[in-house]
Amino acid sequence: MDAVDVIRTKRDGGALSNAQIDWVIDAYTRGAVADEQMAALAMAIFLRGMTRTEISRWTAAMIASGERMDFTHLGATADKHSTGGVGDKITLPLVPLVAAHGVRVPQLSGRGLGHTGGTLDKLESIRGWRADVTPEAMLTQLRDVGGVICAAGAGLAPADKKLYALRDITSTVESIPLIASSIMSKKIAEGSGALVLDVKTGSGAFMQTEADARALARTMVDLGNDAGLATVALLTDMETPLGLTVGNALEVRESVEVLAGGGPTDVVELTVALAREMLTLAGRGDIDPADALADGRAMDVWRRMISAQGGDPDAPLPTSSHTEVITAPRGGYIVAMPARPIAIAAWRLGAGRARKEDPVDLAAGVEIHRKPGDRVTAGEPVLTLHTTDPAKFGRALEALTEAVAYGSESVPISSTRVIDRIA
CATH of the domain at 21: 1.20.970.10
Instruction: Give me the pLDDT at residue 383, please.
Output: 98
Span 67-92, pLDDT tens digits: 999 998 999 999 999 998 999 999 99
The pLDDT tens digits for 250-279 are 999 999 999 999 999 999 999 999 999 999
The dihedrals phi and psi of 271, each to the nearest 5 degrees, come to -60, -50
pLDDT-based confidence at 174, cuts 50/70/90?
A: confident
276 and 301 assigned to the same domain: yes
296 & 337 share domain: no
The residue annotated as part of the active site, out of 10, 57, 81, 370, is 81
Q: Are residues 248 and 336 in the same domain?
A: no
Same domain (yes/no): 38, 111 = no
Angstrom distance (rounded) from CA 252 to CA 306 = 12
Same domain, 231 and 300: yes
Helix (H, G, I), strand (E, B) or coil at 60: helix
The question of whether 370 is a catalytic residue gets the answer: no
368 and 262 fall within a common domain: no
Quote the pLDDT of residue 356.
Answer: 73
Going by pLDDT thresholds of 50, 70 and 90, the confidence category of residue 116 is confident
Range of the domain at 136: 72-308
| Judgement on whether residues 132 and 277 belong to the same structural domain of the protein | yes
Tally of domains within the chain: 3
pLDDT band at 8 (very low <50, low <70, confident <90, very high): very high
Residues 141, 136: Cα–Cα separation, whole Å: 9
Residue 126's beta-bridge partner residues?
none
Q: Report pLDDT digits (tens) over 187-225.
A: 999 999 999 999 999 999 989 999 999 999 999 999 999
Is residue 89 annotated as part of the catalytic site, yes or no? Answer: no
Give the confidence band of 343 by pLDDT, cuts at 50, 70, 90: very high
Q: Is the pLDDT of residue 98 over 90?
A: yes
Is the pLDDT at 63 greater than 90, yes or no?
A: yes
**Does 230 fall in a domain?**
yes
Mean pLDDT of 102-131: 91
* Neighbour-count burial for 325-358, b at 16+ CB within 10 Å, e otherwise: ebebeeebbbbbbbbbbbbbbbbbbbbbbeeeee
pTM: 0.95
Cα distance between residue 185 and residue 278, in whole Å: 19
CA dihedral in degrees (285, 69, 58, 160; nearest 10)? 110
Residue in 182, 192, 255, 320 annotated catalytic: 182
pLDDT at 355 over 80: no
414 within domain boundaries: no
Residue 63 is assigned to a structural domain of this protein:
no
Q: Which of 57, 80, 122, 167 is catalytic?
A: 167
AA identity, residue 214: R
392 catalytic? Reply is no
- pLDDT of residue 115 exceeding 80, the answer is no
293 has pLDDT over 90: yes
Catalytic residue among 88, 121, 160, 237: 160
* The last residue of a domain, from among 285, 308, 331: 308
| 89, 101, 104, 186: the active-site residue | 186
| Per-residue confidence (pLDDT) for residue 329, from 0 to 100 | 96
Return the CATH number at 368: 3.90.1170.30
| Residues 294, 192 within the same domain | yes
